[in-house]
Amino acid sequence: MGNTKKFTAVVVGIGLVTLSACGSSDSGDTGDSKTVTLVSHDSWAVSKNVLKDFEKKSGYTVRVLKDGDAGQAVNKAILTKDNPQGDVFFGVDNTLLSRALDNGLFQSYEAKGADRVVPEYLADPDKHRVTPVDTGDICVNYDKAYFSEHGLTPPESLDDLVRPEYKNLLVTENASTSSPGLGFLLGTVARYGEDGWEGYWEKLQDNGVKVVDGWEQAYNEEFSGSAGGREAGGDRPLVVSYASSPPAEVVFADPKPKTAPTGVADGTCFRQVEYAGLLSNARNAEGGKALIDFLLTQEFQEDMPLNMFVHPVREDAQLPEEFVKYGPQAEDPQTMDPAEIAAGRDQWVKSWTSLVLK
Amino acid sequence: MDLARTEVAPGKRPNRGGAARLGFIALPVAFFGLFFAYPVAAIVARGLKADGDWRFGRIVEVAAQSDIRHVLWFTTWQAVASTALTLLVALPGAYVFARFDFPGRQLLRAVVTVPFVLPTVVVGSAFLALVGRGGLLDELWGVRLDTTVWAILLAHVFFNYAVVVRTVGGLWAQLDPRQEEAARVLGASRWAAWRTVTLPALGPAVAAAALMVFLFTFTSFGVVQILGGPTFSTLEVEIYRQTSEIFDLPTAAVLTMIQFGAVGAILAVHAWTVRRRETALRLVDASGTARRPRGAGQWALLAGVLGCVAVLILLPLAVLVQRSLDAPDFGYYRALTREDGGTFLVPPIHAIGNSLTYAVAATAIAVLIGGLAAAALTRRDAGRFVRGFDALLMLPLGVSAVTVGFGFLIALDEPPLDLRSSWILVPLAQALVGVPFVVRTMLPVLRAVDARLREAAAVLGASPWRAWREVDLPMVRRALLVAAGFAFAVSLGEFGATVFIARPDSPTLPVAVARLLGRPGELNYGQAMALSTILMLVCAVALLVLERLRTDRTGEF
């Protein structure tokens, strides 16, 4: 019986401890004003010394919560905006900006250094609810080796992609679940207009475009030009990715090649701008403001390209050599006003889904 | 389900019993109200309410969309096909495990159960390694099944094989073979004897198993997401996409309600078949019914079933292990301890500790809540209300984990219940799926305790607490351990809800696997395989221990 008693005591004990734990809010939120929390997506990255430097200068400790991919992170932030998980959110881009603003995710704060930002990247100029931090171009990448082996010229524009010589070569992402996929769709809408984009996609489909769920799958499995894709036996020499993907292929290669194995089709690009903002119900608003200022400092802006493979928004930020060489920004990318995206996005994605996926 | 015992005639019970039952049921009701009904209602309301007004018109609007109808259609037919295929493959298995005695039977019975408690992400990755690009089939014959419906159906068979083997086989092992023999002596052919004697006895168990498989495949998430590509979508996957990616909360809310209705209907039918199963059958001790196979036919059957198990269950698991060992010197395992992976704030190996801690807490909660609920449900003469509660306890198995996860985020965020950033949130969500297993394991055993023993103890002056401790507990202790083990295993594997609420700095094993799979690069993939293998081994060990503890083999799980 002794054993039984002990057993009972253990079971009941565990139960009570657990239940009492439910009652007390054992909160991991550090309410103290010396910690500032940044909520972002999985791609957030910064050099350790740069962050340390900020912590030392400002006196704040930075806690980072990486929360899924960009779209998910934005949605989760909106759902929890009354009682946010952090003070600053970084990583909403122009394709989703209206969703964040309409839902009241951010409060006004004009960052120090905003005057050095390339003016066309500034959004919400009256209320300053968001601060642009970086830009990136979503472009079709090509596998140089494939095209030279087959004696083919790589495509240069969206128009080229529907030509018969590029049949069955392109892989892209699901526009409803992937941000490069959405960017590419918006690029085609911007280029061919409300009346023409569906016709263009029909032609793309006739020309054998393949759609996969996410960027990882498209770039690292299907695309023949990436290090991962070569290993996985990818057989599509054209992929929707970023203008910064070629420098990434160089930086992460060992040994480093003399020239990037992939190139960018310049006339296929859509420009993305990523913003940060002070969350509406931030506990540590002061710390949050300091953190946003930090994101616009020259130090952070110049550290960013090789960490997140994006371009700085400050006019005076110097680009690393690999970027100048292999990842120039597109000359004349497609763009679209966030308000226009807001008005059309859901309907375009819906039509695209039934046109291309069903 | 307490088939082997004699029915206890419901005698007159003192009122005190009713009060005690109310006491028992109060905690589970509060638990489910607070941590299930309230969060789910909150997220659904968020979707259907705009500017303070309910928009029920949305339900009709959404249901009328052709792509939503397409999802509904696919959800239903793949569930029907998966269930049929699972029955086809697993019923011979149920027979073999029930009636044949062969070396390694117990071990194999535990091994075929491993997939059932594995998280769907791991199942998905195992099948991807088998039928995906560069997978075994691709290397051997150039066959790729990912993004086809075949991969989904096969994975569902892999996943649910044990449900049929355990539910049907458990009963089959206890059917008296002499009944069938008697029919044959009286001149019936082998087939006629089986059809008229065994089949009717098994019918309700087969129906119950089929319904459980239907429920699990109807609400399939991870398998469809990983293997289906962008074109296949079940209701559950669509709820996830609408909530998490497209952010169309109204549509997600409507879909949640549709799924809720469907699952409610499935559970109602299930409850009915379970009750039918409780009708009197002549049962014998399972240990006496199995014998060595005799004759070429039986050996062929055994060989066929073992072959099926090898190809459908052992092979995917083996491919997982092999992939995890692809790097020299256990490179993928060693990489798990490194901090510079970038995917996490901590080395992935920490996920093991997190998972175990969460699972222990979740098990404690599930055993406490499920045990109390089972105790309240024990009485045969329990009223309609209590019986309804029985079915309600199963609902978390069929309601979108995504809905629960998001519900937690928006409903449990205010004092005194601001649990959102508390570690206890994860075990609470996991306990929700553990409780049904605890109830289903405990209920038959509790019902089998002779109430007269308790009454005798009371007459002799024991307090109800003491009567419980001295009479019930010694009898149910083993069942309690089995229940705890199962709750532990499903908590370890829970993915859907955890992925939404696990803090980035303390991922669980399944969450870590999913994140690693979502990152590019050989090393991340290898680490995902290594973590999956570790998780698989932990589950297998837990199940082997359970096999040793288990006495009553008629339970469903």
Residues A229-257 have a mean pLDDT of 85
How far is it, in rounded angstroms, from Cα A304 to Cα A286? Answer: 23
CB-nearest partner of B67 from A1, A85, A353:
A353
| CB contacts, 8 Å: A78 with chain B | 247
Whether residue A57 is found in the same domain as residue A22: yes
pLDDT in tens, A121-179: 988 888 999 999 999 999 999 999 999 999 999 999 999 999 999 999 999 999 987 88
Per-residue pLDDT at A275:
96
How far is it, in rounded angstroms, from Cα B323 to Cα B527? Answer: 10
**Å from A35 to nearest chain B CA?**
16
Whether residue A230 is found in the same domain as residue A241: yes
Question: If you measure CA to CA, which chain A residue comes closest to B428?
Answer: A22
| CB contacts, 8 Å: B478 with chain A | none
Token pair 């905690």: residue: B27
Both tokens of A107, joined, read 């409060």
| CB contacts, 8 Å: A65 with chain B | 503-505
| CB contacts, 8 Å: A42 with chain B | 343, 515, 518-519
pLDDT in tens, B312-363: 889 988 988 988 888 787 888 887 877 654 545 567 778 888 888 899 999 9
| CB contacts, 8 Å: B359 with chain A | none
CB-nearest partner of B134 from A7, A17, A232:
A232
Which candidate in B72, B417, B420 is best for mutational testing of the A interface (most A CBs within 10 A)? B420
| CB contacts, 8 Å: A11 with chain B | 364, 367-368, 480
Size of chain A, expressed as the number of residues it contains: 358
Whether residue A237 is found in the same domain as residue A145: yes
Q: Please report whether residue A67 resides in a domain.
A: yes
Whether residue A152 is found in the same domain as residue A177: yes
CB-nearest partner of B410 from A22, A79, A354:
A79
Question: If you measure CA to CA, which chain B residue comes closest to A211?
Answer: B230
Domain, as residue range, for A57: 7-136+272-326
For residues A278 and B28, the model is more confident at A278
> Which of B542, B534, B438 lies closest to B483, judged by CA?
B438
pLDDT in tens, A173-208: 999 878 899 999 999 999 999 999 999 999 999 999
Q: Please report whether residue A196 resides in a domain.
A: yes
Per-residue pLDDT at A290:
96
- For chain A positions 156-195, those within 8 Å of chain B (CB to CB) are 174, 176-177
DSSP helix, strand, coil percent of chain B (3-state; round to 5): 75, 0, 25
Spatial neighbors of B438 by CB under 8 A, at least 6 apart, are B366, B367, B369, B370, B371, B374, B483, B484, B486, B487
Token pair 């951010």: residue: A106
Contact call for A221 and B133, based on CB within 8 A:
yes
What distance, in Å, lies between the first and last C-alpha atoms of chain A? Answer: 65
CB B428 within 8 Å of CB B365: yes
Contact call for A67 and B504, based on CB within 8 A:
yes
Residue B473 contacts A, CB cutoff 8 Å: yes
Residues A249-270 have a mean pLDDT of 86
What distance, in Å, lies between the first and last C-alpha atoms of chain B? Answer: 12
- For chain A positions 125-154, those within 8 Å of chain B (CB to CB) are none
**Å from A195 to nearest chain B CA?**
22
Spatial neighbors of B274 by CB under 8 A, at least 6 apart, are B1, B204, B208
Quickly state the pLDDT bin for A28 (edges 50, 70, 90): very low
Provide the 10 A C-beta neighbour count for residue A6.
10
- For chain B positions 310-369, those within 8 Å of chain A (CB to CB) are 342-343, 345, 361, 364-365, 367-368
Contact call for B66 and A354, based on CB within 8 A:
yes
Token pair 């109830």: residue: B439
Contact call for B244 and A72, based on CB within 8 A:
yes
Q: Please report whether residue A292 resides in a domain.
A: yes
Q: How far is CA A216 from CA A173, B48, B138, B377, in A?
A: 9, 34, 20, 50
Whether residue A233 is found in the same domain as residue A260: yes
Question: If you measure CA to CA, which chain A residue comes closest to B225?
Answer: A213
Nearest-5° Cα angle at A300, A294 to A301:
110
Helix (H, G, I), strand (E, B) or coil at A130: coil
Whether residue A238 is found in the same domain as residue A219: yes
Which candidate in A25, A81, A348 is best for mutational testing of the B interface (most B CBs within 10 A)? A25
Contact call for B419 and A25, based on CB within 8 A:
yes
Helix (H, G, I), strand (E, B) or coil at A139: strand
Whether residue A129 is found in the same domain as residue A146: no
How far is it, in rounded angstroms, from Cα A331 to Cα B5? Answer: 82
Whether residue A206 is found in the same domain as residue A310: no
Bridge pairing between strands A238-242 and A262-264:
unpaired
**Å from A78 to nearest chain B CA?**
10
Question: If you measure CA to CA, which chain A residue comes closest to B42?
Answer: A79
Whether residue A82 is predicted with pLDDT greater than 80 in this model: the reply is: yes
**Å from A74 to nearest chain B CA?**
9
Identify the H or E element spanning A173: strand A170-173
Both tokens of B460, joined, read 């002799």
Contact call for B480 and A42, based on CB within 8 A:
no
Residue A221 contacts B, CB cutoff 8 Å: yes
How far is it, in rounded angstroms, from Cα B100 to Cα B113? Answer: 18
Which candidate in A12, A18, A252, A348 is best for mutational testing of the B interface (most B CBs within 10 A)? A18
**Residue A135 main-chain phi, psi, to 5 deg:** -130, 160
How far is it, in rounded angstroms, from Cα A205 to Cα A210? Answer: 8
Long-range contacts of B16-19 (CB under 8 A, 24+ apart): B16/B464, B17/B379
Residue B230 contacts A, CB cutoff 8 Å: yes
Q: From the centroid of its chain, how far is CA B57?
A: 35
Q: Which CATH number do you get for residue A122?
A: 3.40.190.10
Token pair 């339900």: residue: B59
**Å from A115 to nearest chain B CA?**
33
Residue B427 contacts A, CB cutoff 8 Å: yes
Peptide bond into B436 cis (omega under 30): no
How far is it, in rounded angstroms, from Cα B369 to Cα B26? Answer: 10
CB-nearest partner of B67 from A15, A233, A358:
A358
Q: Please report whether residue A215 resides in a domain.
A: yes
Q: Please report whether residue A157 resides in a domain.
A: yes
Contact call for B413 and A15, based on CB within 8 A:
no
Token pair 């083997």: residue: B165
Q: Please report whether residue A163 resides in a domain.
A: yes
| CB contacts, 8 Å: B475 with chain A | none
Assign residue A314 a region: left if phi > 0, alpha if psi is -120 to 50, beta otherwise? Answer: beta
- For chain B positions 292-311, those within 8 Å of chain A (CB to CB) are none
How many domains does chain A divide into? 2
How far is it, in rounded angstroms, from Cα A194 to Cα A340? Answer: 11
* pTM for the structure as a whole: 0.81
Contact call for A228 and B422, based on CB within 8 A:
no
CB B144 within 8 Å of CB B133: yes
pLDDT < 70 positions in chain B: 1-22, 274-288, 339-346, 379-388, 415-416, 421, 449-450, 504, 518-521, 549-557
CB-nearest partner of A231 from B409, B414, B522:
B522
The C-alpha torsion from A100 through A102 and A104 to A105, rounded to 10°, is 0
For residues A34 and A17, the model is more confident at A34
> Which of B247, B230, B125 lies closest to B515, judged by CA?
B125
Burial class (CB in 10 A: 0-12, 13-18, 19+), A259: exposed
Residue A14 contacts B, CB cutoff 8 Å: yes
Both tokens of B235, joined, read 């209701």
Q: How far is CA A130 from CA A39, A98, B115, B323, B425, in A?
A: 14, 11, 47, 45, 32
Contact call for B419 and A22, based on CB within 8 A:
yes
Per-residue pLDDT at A142:
96
Helix (H, G, I), strand (E, B) or coil at B520: coil
| CB contacts, 8 Å: B424 with chain A | 18, 21-22, 26
Per-residue pLDDT at A14:
42
Whether residue A340 is found in the same domain as residue A249: yes
Residue B522 contacts A, CB cutoff 8 Å: yes
Whether residue A11 is predicted with pLDDT greater than 60 in this model: the reply is: no
For residues A192 and A231, the model is more confident at A192
Whether residue A120 is found in the same domain as residue A233: no
Question: If you measure CA to CA, which chain A residue comes closest to B418?
Answer: A25
Q: Please report whether residue A2 resides in a domain.
A: no
Whether residue A182 is found in the same domain as residue A262: yes
Residue A229 contacts B, CB cutoff 8 Å: no
Q: How far is CA A348 from CA A46, A271, B2, in A?
A: 35, 18, 58
Helix (H, G, I), strand (E, B) or coil at B428: helix
Contact call for B231 and A25, based on CB within 8 A:
no
Largest CA distance in chain B: 75
Q: Please report whether residue A50 resides in a domain.
A: yes
Whether residue A201 is found in the same domain as residue A340: yes
How far is it, in rounded angstroms, from Cα B328 to Cα A270? Answer: 43
CA atoms within 13 A on the CB side of A303: 18
The C-alpha torsion from A19 through A24 and A26 to A32, rounded to 10°, is 180
Per-residue pLDDT at A298:
94
